[in-house]
Structure 1
């Protein structure tokens, strides 16, 4: 007969920590449900797998460097009728990541682009894909610094490694003259190998202005749009809407696109 402490020790050695930590309650629940031995084993395994998946997602989310945690359940689709919930659910299935496609989320500031980007990034992690989140300005600054220091190849390899690279807020600030060429090298490195998710407040037709080089911008878009999904969000800023509700801003005094 194995006593309680010995059983806990064996579960620890097997690294079945979810079962170990909830052993009494899990066994009580299995008894209440009158599970067969086979069903009880399956039930215990499900709880262990769920705990491991939860920890894996938590660790991968830290590695992804999300600025905050968002999920699809907290996205207010009613406030953004231009966003099709069915399309988002389809994107959350991550088939586009499996195929190495690009996803562009376009629209004025405050409409939920970054929220969706993070939420889809977390869905990718749950599906087992590696993810990295980076602001566009920080990305280009890192590439430019590496270029000056003779480490560009090393930095490109770093950004090429994750299966999904999320680049946030492209177009909010102007880039340096050499940025377009550096960004092109990254897009070329990931083309048909790893997925890109890019959020931008500028339409693709304005990317020549964003990069300061229409020719290179066209080459970038040629690769991004070859296998891509483009979602344009139209509507009012969440932040401005809340301020209007609070009476801090009078209706009509500000347009969404005038506020970063």
Structure 2
């Protein structure tokens, strides 16, 4: 004798109590996707004559997929990017100095897990910030903690924390993220106190947490930002050791676009 396949029972007119019980249970167990979609998934299971196990698996897969998507969105939001930029939107034809293969490697998490730095060096308008934000977004969506800030904002935050005697806590907070993205690196001259504060963040993360910087100054000009030669050498050493270095060139994409539009 064969056993008939069990399927979810069809909805009936008096199923309000069942719906209420499901709704309350989903709220208590924090299952918003199942709460929103169980009717739809039950109808599909009934149509496909799915077993109870298959129906349950579909419910749990839907909840898990949505939960992972919400986690990605939360990590990207917490990274504090100033604007959305994605690697798939980068125009490689406009900048032949950068190859898709290079960028694809950096979209993976291996280099971040190894605590390696990334240096994006080039003139303004050559795509440094786009790459910095796009790579940071890819790493966040892969499940890692990312934080974006400009170098000037970070130094100001550290200085305020030092005045309020919260410097150690602030440095530790920046030490806990998997990838620290520093934009506009070496754009402004730093006094010795500011450079020392920044150096403490680098020391906290050395060979343990990755730092990605975007700078319009070549390494030979970093001493104009970090006036103390020893401090400049120490910072350069930490940001370039085992680093991935991409030179984005000199031709401004924005300037060329403006010229073409004219």
**What is the TM-score when the length of structure 2 is the normalising length?**
0.84
- Residue 151 of structure 1: CA displacement? 3.3
Structure 1 range deviating more: 20-29 or 121-130 = 20-29
Task: Report the equivalent of 1:253.
Answer: none
Determine the C-alpha separation between the residues in 2 that align with 1:122 and 1:34. 41
User: How far apart are residue 224 of structure 1 and its match?
Assistant: 2.0
> Paired residue for 1:211, among 226, 229, 233?
226
- Partner in structure 2 of residue 171 of structure 1: 186
1:15 aligns with one of 3, 21, 30: 30
Question: Structure 1 residue 90 and structure 2 residue 127: aligned?
Answer: no
**Alpha-carbon offset, residue 38 of structure 1:** 4.4
* Alignment check: 8 A CA contact 1:208 1:215 kept: no
Following the alignment from structure 1 to structure 2, what is the Cα–Cα distance between the partners of residues 34 and 236? 61
- Correspondence 1:1-260 to 2 at 5 A: 3-30=18-45, 37-234=52-249, 236-247=251-262
RMSD of the TM alignment (CA)?
A: 2.3
In 1, the alpha carbon distance for the partners of 2:78 and 2:242 equals: 27
In 2: Cα distance, 1:42 partner to 1:194 partner:
38
Cα deviation digits, residues 190-244 of structure 1 (max 9, x gap): 1022111111111122211121223211111212222211111125323222211
Query: Residue 243 of structure 1: SS of its match in structure 2?
Result: helix
Between structure 1 and structure 2, the one with the greater Rg is 2
For 2:138 and 2:41, locate their aligned partners in 1 and report how far apart those are by CA, in whole Å.
28
Take 2:159 and 2:122, find their aligned partners in 1: how far apart are those partners?
Answer: 27
Displacement, 1:39?
Answer: 4.4
Q: Deviations over 1:20-48 (max 9, x none)?
A: 21233334455666655544443333321
Q: Summarize the Cα distance change of 1:232–1:20 in structure 2 as closer, same or farther, 3 Å threshold.
A: same
Which stretch shows the higher mean deviation, 21-30 or 218-227?
Answer: 21-30
Paired with 2:154 and 2:67, the residues of 1 have a C-alpha distance of 32
Tell me, in whole angstroms, the C-alpha distance in 1 between the residues paired with 2:51 and 2:117.
48
State the TM-score, normalizing by the size of structure 1.
Answer: 0.84
SS at match of 1:101: coil
Q: Which runs of 5+ in 1 are unaligned?
A: 248-260
Measured in 2, the distance between the counterparts of 1:114 and 1:154 equals 28
Judge which range, 201-210 or 228-237, deviates more: 228-237
SS in structure 2 at match of 1:89: helix
Moved more, 40-49 or 50-59: 40-49
Deviations 1:156-175 (A, max 9, x none): 22222212111111122222
* 1:133 positional shift: 0.9
